[in-house]
Amino acid sequence: MITFSEIETTTKRASKAAGFSWGVAEEIGKSIRSLELFGLPGIINLNKYLKKIKIKHPKKIAKIEKKNKTRDKELCPIYSGVAFLDRCLELEKLKSLKFYKVSYPLLMLPFISRASEMISKKILVQFDKSSFLLNFDKSIFSKDIEKQAPSIAKVVNIEFLENKNSFSEQDWKELYKLSEETFVEESDSLKKSAAGAGLTDND
């Protein structure tokens, strides 16, 4: 089995060889390692994408806005991902963003996943029939993910999710009530000797 360390090192070198700068190649190395750790097909997608851009290196994304299109044929998932990550604190204010015609959109995910950790919010990413819930870079929850993921997405939707619980207040109350059964009722004598008892706090 190829190790994650080998994946990161080789990916970094291959990305540099494909025309990315060392700094961006370092980002790609970490990203592909992360995708593979989460069980997503990072190597397959990167390999295909690097072959695709061998003849013509993609353009960098100049600015990130609510809706992002390119005059070039397709948006590069790496440059889009890196630019998104670098600006995630300001982009959060937009609540949601769209990227149109993104090559190998799966490759954008790890950058957005790291952004989720940086801004401490879950992020929902959708393209084609696939949805990905990015949880603070701790996990990526997904359904309907094809084994190899699409080579292009018409549109990638990114939505910053507000920090809220996945359960109702009633669910919580019920669980909390059960947890109280581990507590001991204090007697009057115990209350008198507890920390702070008998002292004035107005000294």
Partner 1 sequence: MSKLNIKLRDPNEVMKLSRLGSFHQSKLSFLRSFIREFKDWEYKRNIFELDKDGYGVAVYSFEKKKRNYSLICFAQHINPNERSDRVIATKWDTAFVLHDGLPARSDINRLKKNVPKQEIGRMSYKELTLSRANKSVRVFDHVVNSLSEGNQPDRNLLNKVGYLYRTTAVYGSGKFGLADRFRIKNRKEVYGPFRLEMMLVYLVRQFTFDQVNHIAKNKNPNKAVQLDENIARNLGIGNSTGLGMAPFIVNHPTLLHKWIYNREKALKEIRSIEVVNNDEFNFFKDCLTKSKKIIDTWLTDSEYQNKKINSLKSDLVKFDVFLEKNCSIKTKYLWNEIYLWVEKNLKEECIEYIVSMMMEPHDKIIDPLINNMSSEEEQYFSIPGHRKISDLKTILEKKYQSIIKINFKEKNSIANFWFISKNKEEPRVANRYEEQGAELEQPLAIARDIKQLYERILKANQSETIADFLLNNDDLRHVVRRAFIADKFPYSEIQDNTIGASLMPIDMLRLKLSFFGAVKFDPRSDKWLRINMYQGAPLSHELKNSDDTWIYNSLN
Residues interacting with partner 1, by CB under 8 A? 1-6, 13, 21-24, 26-27, 30, 60-63, 82-83, 85-90, 114, 118
DSSP annotation of 70 reads: -
Q: Which residues on neighbouring strands pair with residue 102, listed in sequence order?
A: 75, 153
Angle, helices 77-86 vs 109-119, to 10°: value is: 10
Q: How far is the CB of 16 from partner 1 (least distance, A)?
A: 9
Q: How far is the CB of 23 from partner 1 (least distance, A)?
A: 2
Q: Which is nearer to partner 1, 92 or 128 (CB)?
A: 92
Q: With contact defined as beta carbons under 8 Å apart, do 19 and 33 qualify?
A: no
Q: Which is nearer to partner 1, 70 or 149 (CB)?
A: 70
Q: How far is the CB of 129 from partner 1 (least distance, A)?
A: 31
Sign of torsion over alpha carbons 118, 79, 28, 98? positive
Letter string b/e over residues 133-152, b meaning 16 or more CB atoms within 10 A of that residue's CB: bbbebeebebeebeeebbeb
Q: How far is the CB of 74 from partner 1 (least distance, A)?
A: 19
Q: Which is nearer to partner 1, 64 or 149 (CB)?
A: 64
Q: Which is nearer to partner 1, 5 or 168 (CB)?
A: 5
Residues composing the chain: 203
Q: How far is the CB of 58 from partner 1 (least distance, A)?
A: 13
Q: How far is the CB of 62 from partner 1 (least distance, A)?
A: 7
Residue with tokens 């992002």: 68
Q: Which is nearer to partner 1, 63 or 147 (CB)?
A: 63
Q: With contact defined as beta carbons under 8 Å apart, do 58 and 85 qualify?
A: no
Question: Where do the H-state alpha helices sit in 38-108?
Answer: 42-52, 77-86, 88-91
